[in-house]
């Protein structure tokens, strides 16, 4: 298990090295949230709410959705496709670890980086510009954290369904 934790650390540090992607990513997500804010503001028009949701609640939903996406979004599929095209996957498959396990841990390292250094600062920036109303109930945040982690594991689950071997060999 130590080798997989090391892969998380290495991917985290690799993400830290590309600071330009980090700053532009926060800016791009803020622009997307802003576009959705003005779209929903136009949809609402002068109405106070639609189907029980106010424009502030809808903006909060969109902002949290975009920032959550930062955690589970990665380019592992593209990396794997490139490794297959270049023939590098053959070398990876003979190493003493699970290739899919390694990729999952790399994605987790990237997700942890994005969560703490992308999503949190991004939400702070967005909340300064747009009306955001976050819940103060810790149980909601607990269940949100669980659902966020499960969204990341969808990659893992998809690989297990498509393959009949052990993901983390013992």
Tell me the per-residue pLDDT of 38-48, one tens digit each, with 9 for 90 and over. Answer: 998 899 888 88
Q: Which has more pLDDT, 165 or 8?
A: 8
Contact indicator for 120, 131 with CB cutoff of 8 Å:
no
Contacts of 169 (CB under 8 A, 6+ apart): 97, 98, 101
> What integer pLDDT is reported at residue 156 of this predicted model?
60
**Bigger pLDDT: 19 vs 104:** 104
Q: Are 107 and 157 in contact (CB under 8 A)?
A: no
Look at residue 47 in the predicted model and tell me its pLDDT: 86
Residue 140 has pLDDT above 80, yes or no: yes
pLDDT tens-digit series, residues 51-72: 888 988 999 998 898 888 888 7
* DSSP structural state of residue 54: E
Compute the mean pLDDT over every residue in the chain, rounded to the nearest whole number: 81
What is the percent of the chain with per-residue pLDDT over 90, rounded to a whole number? 8
Whole-model pTM?
A: 0.72
The CA distance from 68 to 37, in Å, is 17
Model confidence band, residue 164 (pLDDT cutoffs 50, 70, 90): very low
Q: What are phi and psi of 93, to 5 degrees?
A: -70, -20
Report the pLDDT averaged over residues 139-162. 78
Residue 143 confidence (pLDDT): 95
Angstrom distance (rounded) from CA 70 to CA 5: 21
Distance CA(159)–CA(155), nearest Å, equals: 6
Instruction: Give ∠ CA 35-38-44 in degrees, rounded to 5.
Output: 140
């Amino acid at each position: 298990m130590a080798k997989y934790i090391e892969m998380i650390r290495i991917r985290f540090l690799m993400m830290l090295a590309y600071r330009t992607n980090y700053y532009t990513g926060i800016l791009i997500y803020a622009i997307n949230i802003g576009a959705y804010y003005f779209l929903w503001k136009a949809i609402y028009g002068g109405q106070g709410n639609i189907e029980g949701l106010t424009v502030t609640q809808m903006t909060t939903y969109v902002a949290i959705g975009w920032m959550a996406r930062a955690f589970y979004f990665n380019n592992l599929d593209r990396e794997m496709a490139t490794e297959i095209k270049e023939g590098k996957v053959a070398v990876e498959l003979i190493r003493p670890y699970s290739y899919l396990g390694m990729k999952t841990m790399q994605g987790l390292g990237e997700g942890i980086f994005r969560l703490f250094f992308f999503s949190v600062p991004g939400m702070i920036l967005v909340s300064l510009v747009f009306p955001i109303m976050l819940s103060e109930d810790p149980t909601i945040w607990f269940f949100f954290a669980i659902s966020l982690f499960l969204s990341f594991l969808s990659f893992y689950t998809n690989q297990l369904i498509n393959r009949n071997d052990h993901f983390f060999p013992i």
